[in-house]
Amino acid sequence: MKKPLVVIARNIPKEGLEELYKHCRVHMHRGSMPPTRAQLLSYAKEADALVTVLTEKVDAGLLSVAKNLKIVANYAVGYDNIDLKVAHRAGVYVTNTPGDLGASVAEHAMGMIMVLSKRMLEGDRFMRRGKYHAWDPNLLLGNDVRDKTLGIIGSGSIGSALVKIAKAGFGMRILYNDIVRNKKIEQDYHAKRVPLSQLLKASDAVSLHVPLLPSTRHLIGAKELNQMKPTAVLVNTARGPVVDERALVAALKAKKIAGAALDVFEFEPRLAPGLAKLPNVVLTPHIASATVEARAQMGSIAAQNILDVLIRNRHPRNALA
C-alpha cells in the first residue's frame, strides 16, 4: 500500500520529524524563502497532509484544489494564516504546535526587556564606533528591572511563562490584562488582573502576548502609547499588527515612551518608515521561538498530529478545526 504524502511547505529542521519520515512519504520545500503561491497550490494538490508556517495562506483557493488533503499542521502556535471556517467546511483538520515553546518566547521577551532597560544595544553601538574613552558615571544611564512593574497583555502559555521569569527571577510586580481570568498566575505569582488603561499607566515594561484577531489589531496605538510612562518600554513577540507601528515610531520620536523591542512587525518583513533609525529600538527577525529545543518540539508535535490522522485514524491531539 502506498504511503501517504506529507508536504512540508517550508524548509524546517528535521529534528522531531523522524517518525513522520518512517511512516509517510515526505517532500520538504527547498531554500530559505517561502514558496510562491503557485508552488504552494501545487503542493496542496498532491498532499494528504500539509505542514505550513505563518507565511503560507491556507484559504478557500488552496483548499479547493487540495482534493486529498486531510490535515494542515501549522508549524506555529498562532494560526491567523489559516481560514479555520473554510477548512472545517472542507473537512480538513487544522492543528498548531503549542507545547512548551512558550518558555522560549518568554525568555526572548525578558531578554528584550533587559536589553532596553540596561541600554545594552546602545552600549554595543557606542563601543563599536570607538566612542568609549573613559568611565563616565553619567554614560548611558538605564533602569533596574528588579522590583519594577511588568504589564502582561495576554496571559496564555507565553504570557504565563514570562510572569514566572519576571516574578521569580527579578521580583517584578505583575499586572495582567486578558478577557479570561488566569487564577494560576494570581495564586502563584500574585498577578493582578486590571483594565488595559490601568496596566499601561502603571507598568514599567509592557509585553504583548495576544493572538491576532479583529479585536487585537492595533490594540496598541497612539492613544495607548500616550497612556504609558515616559520611562516605560514596550515589547512585542506576539503578532506585528497588534501594534500600530507608525504610531509607535511617532511615540518613540516624541519620547512618549523610553523604548521598544519588536520580534514581529506590522508589515513584515518590511518595517514602518523610520523605525530602524531609532536608537532606542531593538529589532529581531521573528526569532523568539528560534531555539534548537523549541524547533524540535514543534516538529514532533506537528508530526504526531499528522500521524494521528493519516496512520492512527483518529482525531489529532491539537485540532483547531
Catalytic member of 23, 218, 246, 286:
286
C-alpha 235/C-alpha 113 separation (Å) is 7
Does the annotation mark 268 as catalytic?
Answer: yes
The label of the residue with cell 488552496 reads 62
C-alpha 180/C-alpha 183 separation (Å) is 9
Grid coordinates standing for 308? 494521528
Q: Which residues contact 316 (CB under 8 A, 6 or more apart)?
A: 71, 73, 93, 95, 305, 306, 308, 309
Give Dmax over CA atoms of the chain in angstroms. Answer: 74
Whole-number CA gyration radius for the chain:
21
C-alpha 186/C-alpha 312 separation (Å) is 40
Catalytic member of 239, 245, 266, 295:
239
The label of the residue with cell 512540508 reads 8
C-alpha 298/C-alpha 205 separation (Å) is 29
Does the annotation mark 314 as catalytic?
Answer: no
Residues identified as active-site: 239, 268, 286
